[in-house]
Structure 1
């Protein structure tokens, strides 16, 4: 079943997302800002989180005007507290510190981690080793009272932010250990035009999905593209 958003031209939201506020930590960066734009355009209330509440509020005002959606801004802690579903789109080097500090605010929530542990040198992007196995597994270890789901790792921030792109034409691999949470995040993926959420296994399989982003960056540089992935025959 679906719930009308009330906005003309906007598809109805699934019942699983009715009355759901999405917080985006790191919401002023390209990936977070792009996801927030798409969620707001779909009719979801969005709270942008940033180290600077003022910066988050300025970005939120711009997105609200651009999308006609409900977008507000706050510091990361207040955004985490406000969200029913919380997307983590922060740089890898600040990932562990931020989540450890926000564990109380994130308790009991579905946390969607889309962080890719990558390094860059003259040869391009490459995957970094993570002691816990992946960024998503690190997040679950730091947030024992939350349910972590890995998703949105391989979606182009450029396409997310481009208002002229009305069909992203990509799949999102969704990884997690709790069926209800992965189903919810698959529904969240589906609020973005042309995006399909596909279950990709348990959280222990997140490493290779995060690392695949390095390959896509190489594809993009060679072919001057904004490549995504498609899963066939499902």
Structure 2
């Protein structure tokens, strides 16, 4: 299945509907993003290393969506099957083991969204890991490993707690980085499922080098202020 064509840019939620495979869909971030996408009417396949693990999580999300008018269907599958069923593949996995997993996935021709944050923790708290001597990121690694896919970075800085929370929309912005406008437009459309408005074009894929480790700053803020901080962009 080829990547979908992007709709014209406009503000607010869009009518375009996607089938999204969430790889790492049984983890808090993946489950929360899958829930939000399905709530907005997109079809979601939660991927895991085994279909047996993905199924119960998909059932949990489906139960959460009971009574939501227009909600999309949610199912679970093994990672490769989830990718095969989707237009868009979202990577929501830990960085450890990232390269091996991404290399094995059938991603050719897909729009791939990476929200992977390579972080480390020590006595002073969270901090970004140095990737390729400071000249790389998880998103760029995914693109290098899957040259026939189109990779963008998005959803790095959104709290898993808020994604699974009760608020209809999150009071923050989603920054999207990538080298192809059509692929970025897909992620910007999907951002409306979280915030009620399209995501913001943050520039080229290499800027994932800044977005990914910035999550460590938000973790520090959250610890200090006992909150779930996000980002808002003014002047746009």
* TM-score normalized by the length of structure 2: 0.89
Retained in 1: the 8 A contact 2:140–2:206?
yes
**RMSD of Structure 2 on Structure 1 (CA):** 1.6
1:76 aligns with 2:79: yes
What is the rounded CA distance, in whole Å, between the counterparts of 2:141 and 2:80 in structure 1? 19
Give the superposition deviation at 1:13: 6.1
Match of 1:43 in 2: 41
Shift of 1:14: 2.5
Q: The residue matched to 2:183 in structure 1 has which SS?
A: helix
Which residue is 2:158 aligned to? 155
Please name the residue that 2:4 is paired with: none
Query: Which protein, 1 or 2, shows the higher relative CO under an 8 Å CA cutoff with sep ≥ 6?
Result: 2
1:171-229 residue CA offsets vs partner (Å, 9 max, x unmatched)? 11100000111112101101224454100010011111101000000000000000000
Question: Could you tell me whether the CA contact under 8 Å between 2:13 and 2:198 is conserved in 1?
Answer: no
Q: Which residue does the alignment assign to 1:57?
A: 55
Report if the CA contact (8 A) 1:80-1:106 is conserved.
yes
After TM superposition, the structure 1 = structure 2 runs for residues 24-39 of structure 1, keeping only pairs within 5 Å, are 24-39=22-37
2:235 is aligned to 233
Corresponding residue for residue 117 of structure 1: 118
- Is the CA contact 1:134–1:206 (under 8 Å) kept in the aligned structure 2? yes
Name the SS for the 1:93 alignment partner. coil
Segments ≥4 residues shifted beyond 6 Å: none
Supply the distance in 2 between the matched residues of 1:49 and 1:224 (Cα, whole angstroms): 31
Q: Contact 1:149–1:203 at 8 Å: present in 2 too? A: yes
Report how many residues are paired: 219
Asked if structure 1 preserves the Cα contact closer than 8 Å seen for 2:13 and 2:192, the reply is no
Give the 5 Å matches for 1:111-150: 111-131=112-132, 133-150=136-153
Matching of residues 206-221 of structure 1 within 5 Å? 206-221=208-223
Q: Deviations over 1:119-151 (max 9, x none)?
A: 011111000011161001001000100000000
TM-score by length of 1: 0.90
**5+ residue gaps, structure 2:** 1-6, 67-71
Is the 1:169–1:195 Cα contact (8 Å) retained in structure 2? no
- Larger mean CA deviation between 188-197 and 64-73 belongs to 188-197
Q: Displacement, 1:167? A: 2.3
Residues 170 and 195 of structure 1 are in contact (CA less than 8 Å); yes or no, is this contact kept in structure 2?
no
SS at match of 1:92: coil
- In the TM superposition, what is the alpha-carbon distance from 1:52 to its structure 2 partner? 2.1
